[in-house]
Amino acid sequence: MTASAPIAQPKRWLKPSVLPGFGLTFGLTLLWLSVVVLIPLIALVIRPWEMGLERFIDLASRPRVVAALRLSFGTAAAAAAVNLVFGAIIAWVLVRTEFPGKRIIDAIVDLPFALPTAVAGIALAALYAPNGWIGALLDPLGIQVAYTPLGIFVALTFIGLPFVVRTVQPVLEDIDADLEDAAASLGASRLQTLARVIAPALAPALLTGFALAFARAVGEYGSVIFIAGNIPQVSEIAPLLIVIRLDEFDYAGAAAIGVFMLAVSFAVLLALNLTQRWARRATGNES
Amino acid sequence: MSLEIDSVSKWFGAFAALDKVSLVGAEGEFLALLGPSGSGKTTLLRILAGLERPDAGVVRFNGEDLSGTSARDRRAGFVFQHYALFRHMTVAKNIAFGLEVRRGAEKLPKKEIAARVERLLALVQLDTLGGRYPAQLSGGQRQRVALARALAIEPRMLLLDEPFGALDAKVRRELRRWLRGLHAEMGLTTIFVTHDQEEALDLADRVVVMNNGRIEQVGAPADVYGRPANAFVYDFMGGANRLPCDVRGGVVTFGGFAASTGDHAPGPDRAALAYARAHDIRVAPEGQPGLPATVLAVFPAGGQPRVECRLGDGQVVEAAVRTGDPWPALGQRIALQPERVRVFE
């Protein structure tokens, strides 16, 4: 036996792979991302700087803009959080129980995906207006939904629901029922099983569902403007303000709001992504 | 009489998974539930664990009726075929799970839990792997973690559902030996479900052969193998040949060759089918009394040198060649002399 000398490997940033076509697929990935995502975004990011940093900060910090941004991110986060809870419950029911009409319920979950958002907005506005079916019930209680931030929250909850259900559902299907049996035979209560066994296994999917619902809600326009009432500094969302600025031919002002939204959204999504990666590494379930 | 199963039945729709099954297990006994898939053995095990409710019948442990006791309170250690480990927890956390979910007076101090986990890791020979995650272990190691996790709660009985079914043959044999040693050491009442008759015969104090939701036979491994109660058990134990024979006055003959039926009466006079294992069928030269056959293949290697041959009716039969007997050639005509057979009615 001759001891074989280790073959000197040139230091490379890329690990050699047995899968062919890396160059081609990676090239296509970069090209496509550039054309579809990056170049339009760069144009957006460059635009406000043409007027200088000072003017950008001035534009982005006006009370009306700040109020719109706060409203957009606040209601999006609240709607995504509510969807997280109810989406998880719906996914649970769809995966773990059998009942007549299950296929129909399953299909209904996708409706917010398929419905034109303007249609959803008009329907919700009609329903929640003080003379609508639900609005008429809430009005005597002094609860105003339509034309208030609460209405925005309702619309964002509606459009975000399928994201959570559809990300949690397949993961839940993969969770072996044996795990729950094992936990029970070891003496865990239903609540302990849920908290210690099911929830941690579902956490990455819940996080992804939350992130998708949140991202969608931040950018949502069509369904919101019909129910929001669009009162500046009260129920005017940031995407609407961008459209208003564009109507006024104030491209720099529109871009300033857009860049700010982009930065915050990107930061939130990145943070959620890193959390997930960290969680995966911690359980040794990488690769 | 620690474990008592009293006419337990379980239906899934119209299908009877268990049909009035009764069985008694002694304290510290190692029982194997053996049967093909769909025979009800896993259902019975899950009923013992409280993971399934019987539709009729009662399970008692040391005289106490377990019907109203949930899986959570039964203290039955359950080991699953596919491990069912919690993949987001380390090995040590998995083992500690049953202790950490305890509440109230039963709650153990953290130090005590850590010490017990250490002891169990040593017991399953995974001392250094407590910090690993299940995904980083081999199948055999995962199943030992699952066993340690089940033992952590100091169970009153240990229930194993085809625990080695997902492992390769070599690991399976090693774990079998190890489990036998562990049982001898701990003396825990153990019920082991398997469809592998060799595993059941190797491990158990008593083997319970099940089929179609009923118990076909219960007995020591040597009994079940050597004196199968019926055709199903004989067949399931493996290596069964079915040979045409004549029964006259309690004597079974094959072409003039009289076989022994041991203590098992062959029944009334008739033409019947006899069951015989390969090593009980002798290969004799053509012309001697016995069933005429033609040699199809010879297998001289392995633990049991044997030949495959075809009877006049086209049936293929395996027979053993005794040490000292001449090896037949391919295509040669021979006479088969089944020396020990069973004829079931």
Q: State pLDDT tens for residues A179-191.
A: 999 999 999 999 9
> Which pairs with CB-CB distance under 8 Å and at least 24 residues apart come from A38-44?
A41/A262, A44/A255, A44/A258, A44/A259, A44/A262
Minimum distance, in Å, between the CA of residue B95 and any CA atom of chain A: 10
B325, B275, B331, B323: which is closest to B298 by C-alpha? B331
Does some domain include residue A24? Answer: no
pLDDT on residue A11: 56
Q: Does the pLDDT of residue A51 top 80, yes or no?
A: no
B157-161/B189-194 β-pairing:
parallel
Mean pLDDT to the nearest integer, B255-282: 87
Which among B222, B208, B230 is positioned nearest to B25, based on CA atoms? B208
CB contact under 8 A, A178 and B86: no
Residue A7: predicted pLDDT:
56
On whether residue A17 sits in a domain, the answer given is: no
What is the β-pairing status of strands B240-248 and B251-254?
Answer: antiparallel
Residue A193's CATH number: 1.10.3720.10
Encoding tokens for residue A238?
A: 């940031």
Q: Is the pLDDT of residue B42 over 60?
A: yes
Percent of chain A, pLDDT > 70?
Answer: 91
Residue type, B315: Q
Beta carbon pairs, A and B, within 8 Å: 81
Contacts of A242 (CB under 8 A, 6+ apart): A254, A257, A258
Q: What is the pLDDT of residue B1?
A: 57
Q: Which two tokens stand for residue B197?
A: 């008759």
Would A39 be classed as within a structural domain?
A: no
Is pLDDT above 70 for B142?
yes
Q: How confident is the model at residue B45 (pLDDT cuts 50, 70, 90)?
A: very high
Confidence label for A286 from pLDDT (cuts 50, 70 and 90): very low
Q: Give residue ranges of B with CB < 8 Å to any A CB.
A: 46, 49-51, 70-78, 80, 82, 84, 86-89, 97-98, 101-102, 132-133, 135-136, 146, 149-150, 152-153
Give the C-alpha separation, B172 to B170, whole Å.
5
- Chain-chain contact of B101 with A285 (C-beta, under 8 angstroms): no
Whether chain B has a CB inside 8 Å of the CB on A196: the answer is yes
| Confidence band, pLDDT 50/70/90 cuts, at residue A250 | confident
Please state, rounded to an integer, the average pLDDT across all residues of chain A: 84
Beta strands B251-254 and B257-259 are antiparallel
Alpha helices in chain B (DSSP H): 41-49, 71-74, 91-100, 110-123, 139-152, 169-186, 197-203, 221-226, 231-236
Number of residues in chain B: 345
Average pLDDT over residues B23-43: 92
Rounded mean pLDDT of A85-94? 92
Longest CA–CA separation in chain A, Å: 92
Give a yes or no: residue A12 inside a domain.
no
**Residue A252 within any structural domain of the chain:** yes
When pLDDT is averaged across residues B172-187 and rounded to a whole number, the result is 89
Mean of all residue pLDDT scores within chain B = 90
**Worst-scoring range by mean pLDDT, A84-88, A132-136, B217-221, B270-274?**
A132-136
Q: What percent of chain A has pLDDT over 90?
A: 20
Amino acid symbol at A170: P
Q: How far apart are alpha carbons B218 and B95 in whole angstroms?
A: 34
C-alpha span between A78 and A83 (Å, rounded): 9
Residue A11 located in a structural domain = no
Q: d(Cα A247, Cα A148) in Å, to the nearest integer? A: 24
Q: Which amino acid is present at B302?
A: G
Asked if the Cβ–Cβ distance from A185 to B87 is below 8 Å, we say no
Q: Do A196 and B97 lie within an 8 Å CB cutoff? A: yes
* Residue A263: domain span: 46-282
Which amino acid makes up residue A270? Answer: L
Give the separation between CA A16 and CA B100, rounded to whole angstroms: 45
Using 50, 70 and 90 to split pLDDT, how confident is the model at B256? confident
Q: What gap in Å lies between CA A209 and CA A88, rounded to an integer?
A: 9
Q: Are B219 and B260 in contact (CB under 8 A)?
A: no
Range in A37-41, A196-200, B224-228 with the lowest mean pLDDT: A37-41
CB contact under 8 A, B150 and A196: no
- Confidence band, pLDDT 50/70/90 cuts, at residue B5: very high
Is residue B41 scored above 90 in pLDDT?
yes
CA neighbor of B176 nearest in space, from B140, B206, B126: B140
Question: What pLDDT sits at residue B33?
Answer: 95
- Average pLDDT on B163-174 reads 87
Q: How many domains does chain A have?
A: 1
Evaluate if residue A59 carries a pLDDT over 90. Answer: no
Distance from CA of B101 to the nearest CA of A (A): 6
What single DSSP character describes residue B301? S
Over residues B82-93, the pLDDT tens digits come to 999 998 899 999
pLDDT of res. A1: 44
Q: Give the pLDDT of residue A256.
A: 83
For the segment B100-126, the average pLDDT, to the nearest whole number, is: 90
* Mean of pLDDT values over A253-260: 84
Q: How far apart are CA A153 and CA B60, in angstroms?
A: 56
Q: What is the mean pLDDT of residues B222-243?
A: 89
Residue of B66, B81, B88, B89 for testing the chain A interface, max A β-carbons within 10 Å: B88
Put simply, the answer to whether A181 touches B71 (Cβ < 8 Å) is yes
User: In the prediction, which pLDDT does A287 show?
Assistant: 36
pLDDT band at A16 (very low <50, low <70, confident <90, very high): low
* Confidence label for B313 from pLDDT (cuts 50, 70 and 90): confident
Place B323 in a pLDDT band, splitting at 50, 70 and 90: confident
In the predicted structure, residue A5 carries a pLDDT above the cut 60: no
Q: What is the CA radius of gyration of chain B?
A: 25
Structural domain includes residue A85: yes
pLDDT given at position B192: 93
- The pLDDT assigned to B170 comes to 86
Is the per-residue pLDDT at A235 higher than 90? no
